[in-house]
Amino acid sequence: MTVKRFKILQALHVNDNSKAPKQGETGYDKLYKWRPLINKLNRKFQYQCITTSSQSVDEAMILFKGRSSLKQYMPMKPIKCGYKAWVRADSTTGNVFQFEMYVGKQDSDLVEVGLGERVVKRPCQQLEFKEVRVAFDNFFESPSLMENLKAK
């Protein structure tokens, strides 16, 4: 079935388009239309999965060949074109606890840390008082992140 005949995207809405902030306004989000679905999925993932002692944070590519401003091209990956997501998952089973879609560079004056540090800190906030080892590769590594994780 072709994309033109399969019109599910015209009928599928998870957020009110009339309330969406315009580009340049405060609260603008490229994923505004999908944010309620993403938040619900993250809550369900965390509710269904049993917290283990070893988790990992890494990137994942979701295959997509259409047109989108969120699409990334990474020639060294097995999936070269698609959506990039940051994922916190169980190290042994691969069950996803939390994911966050990458929407590109954020022009924020409040950014005090690098991308790698933010990607690890944000999903690990929920693990603050639990004894969980978090593994990540050298892309995310920084001295300030290591000090911060050791303190928590």
List, in order, residues 6 or more apart from 42 with CB less than 8 Å away.
Answer: 98, 99
pLDDT tens by residue, the chain, 152 residues: 666 666 666 667 788 888 889 988 888 888 888 899 999 999 998 888 777 788 889 899 999 888 888 899 989 889 999 999 999 998 888 889 999 998 887 665 455 567 878 888 888 777 776 778 888 888 888 888 878 777 77
Do strands 133-135 and 54-63 pair parallel, antiparallel, or not at all (unpaired)?
parallel
- 0.85 cut: is pTM over it? no
Domain limits of the chain? 51-152
